[in-house]
């Protein structure tokens, strides 16, 4: 029961007739319109496929019906064998074959309406052919020996199914690539739409970043102007003058203290020798003179006595040093100047405190706040520039990918429909 089979010429819908023109013309379409074109083209191909497969499907159904009918006839027939020892084996093979045909000889009875139905039909038919082949191969030798006529009838139907499967495979091989092209083109078109949507979002984000940059630049300019204006104000200039005086006073105190340190350091050797023979209490004060010489101003009378004791030991010779006269002179200078030096240091520190207390820290804090705010906006600007560059690079990548994808779709749809289309963006 071999069905007549031929390639039915595909009908082109009116939709495509309206779209098509000369081979060199290009039709501009939106992505939505092109999606409709692809779906219509797929429907036409599927209709062609359905038309081509319908007689094959009917033949397969007839073939399976014949198999079931033959199986029922075989079931009613008794097998007579000369040798009883083979009877059980033959009947078992017969039952297995009949049961398999009755159970397996069905495929979907619904019409083939689309590509998915066609694939399902082909797969089901392939499973049947493989299954019948396995069962037949297992029992043919036995049944052929005793029921050759009946088995040949079944075998013819099996062969018909195999032949029909080859025809289905051939039809699908022709249409499958075209339909898959439509599916792939549709998927690419959906992907292109996603990329274009992402491109729009990135473009909106870039506009936001550019507007944000303008605001940041404006804030930086305002902060710098405020900073410069404040630096010209009387409050700042007065504060600057006081700050300079404070720095000068600190420098003066620093020079003063270094002078004291130098004077005491000149007596380092005699002080060390004096500590060898002094009491523990005196050793402690001598260590203070050497390690923290500025402490002598906190209790000048105590340390005046200590220097006088040092001078006495030098004069008496209990402390052996290279140039005792020079050492005595250095001790006298410290002793004679210590009261005035102590007074001078106290006055310098009082003056420093007075100057520092006159500083308007509110004004200075305001200046520092402006500076910090400017730095903050400059940081924002740097981050904005980085994000802007990243967004631009992302947009360039999307543009490049979209252009390649767009060309791929346009080439593929031209191949499918034999009409050139250009996607509007």
What pLDDT, in 10s, does the model give residues 105-132? 677 667 888 888 888 889 888 888 887 7
pLDDT at 363 over 90: no
pLDDT at 22 over 60: no
pLDDT at 71 over 80: no
Predicted local confidence at residue 218, as pLDDT: 95
Predicted local confidence at residue 216, as pLDDT: 95
Predicted local confidence at residue 250, as pLDDT: 86
pLDDT at 406 over 70: yes
Predicted local confidence at residue 328, as pLDDT: 83
Predicted local confidence at residue 18, as pLDDT: 46
Least-confidence region, from 143-147, 192-196, 230-234? 143-147
pLDDT at 11 over 60: no
Kindly state the tokens that stand for 114. Answer: 């689309």
Q: Give the Å distances, CA to CA, from 96 to 34, 64, 148, 380.
A: 55, 17, 17, 82
Averaged over 392-399, what is the pLDDT? 96
Task: Answer whether 321's CB lies under 8 Å from 273's CB.
Answer: yes
Task: Answer whether 345's CB lies under 8 Å from 297's CB.
Answer: yes
Predicted local confidence at residue 192, as pLDDT: 93
CA 189/CA 38 separation, integer angstroms: 10
Over residues 315-346, the pLDDT tens digits come to 877 787 888 888 888 878 778 777 787 788 88
Predicted local confidence at residue 292, as pLDDT: 78
Averaged over 8-36, what is the pLDDT? 62
Over residues 131-156, the pLDDT tens digits come to 777 655 544 555 555 556 666 777 88
Which stretches of 147-233 are DSSP H helices? 148-231
Residue with tokens 């804030």: 219
- pTM across the whole model: 0.54
Averaged over 304-323, what is the pLDDT? 80
CA 151/CA 139 separation, integer angstroms: 10
Task: Tell me the domains of the chain and their CATH numbers.
Answer: 33-186 (1.20.120), 248-359 (no CATH)
């Amino acid at each position: 029961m071999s069905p007549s089979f031929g390639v039915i010429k595909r009908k082109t819908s009116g939709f495509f007739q309206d779209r098509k023109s000369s081979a060199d013309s290009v039709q501009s379409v939106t992505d939505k319109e092109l999606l409709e074109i692809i779906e219509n083209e797929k429907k036409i191909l599927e209709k062609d496929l359905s038309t081509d497969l319908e007689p094959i499907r009917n033949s397969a159904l007839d073939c399976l019906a014949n198999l079931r009918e033959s199986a029922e006839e075989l079931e009613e027939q008794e097998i007579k064998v000369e040798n009883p020892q083979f009877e059980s084996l033959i009947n078992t093979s017969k039952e297995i074959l009949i049961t398999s045909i009755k159970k397996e000889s069905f495929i979907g009875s619904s019409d083939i309406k689309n590509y998915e139905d066609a694939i399902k039909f082909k797969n089901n038919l392939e499973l049947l052919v493989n299954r019948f082949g396995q069962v037949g191969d297992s029992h043919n030798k036995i049944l052929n020996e005793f029921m050759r006529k009946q088995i040949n009838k079944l075998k013819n139907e099996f062969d018909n199914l195999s032949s029909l499967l080859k025809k289905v495979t051939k039809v699908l091989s022709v249409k499958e690539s075209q339909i898959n092209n439509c599916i792939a083109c549709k998927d690419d078109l959906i992907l292109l739409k996603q990329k274009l949507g992402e491109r729009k979002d990135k473009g909106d984000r870039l506009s936001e970043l550019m507007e944000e940059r303008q605001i940041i630049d404006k804030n930086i300019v305002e902060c710098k102007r405020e900073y410069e204006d404040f630096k010209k104000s009387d409050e700042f200039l007065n504060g600057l003058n006081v700050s300079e005086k404070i720095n000068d006073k600190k420098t003066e105190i620093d020079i003063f203290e270094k002078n004291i340190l130098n004077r005491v350091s000149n007596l380092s050797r005699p002080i060390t020798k004096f500590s060898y023979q002094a009491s523990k209490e005196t050793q402690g004060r001598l260590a203070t003179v050497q390690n923290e010489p500025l402490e002598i101003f906190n209790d000048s009378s105590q340390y005046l006595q200590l220097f006088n004791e040092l001078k006495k030991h030098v004069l008496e010779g209990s402390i052996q040093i290279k140039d005792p006269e020079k050492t005595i002179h250095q001790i006298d200078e410290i002793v004679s100047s210590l009261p005035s030096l102590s007074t001078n240091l106290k006055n310098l520190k009082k003056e420093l405190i007075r100057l520092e207390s006159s500083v308007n820290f509110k004004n200075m804090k305001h200046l520092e706040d402006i500076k910090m705010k400017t730095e903050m906006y400059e940081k924002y600007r740097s981050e904005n520039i980085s994000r802007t560059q990243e967004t631009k690079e992302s947009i360039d990548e999307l543009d490049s990918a979209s252009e390649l994808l767009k060309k791929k779709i346009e080439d593929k749809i031209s191949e499918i429909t034999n009409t050139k289309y250009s996607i509007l963006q």
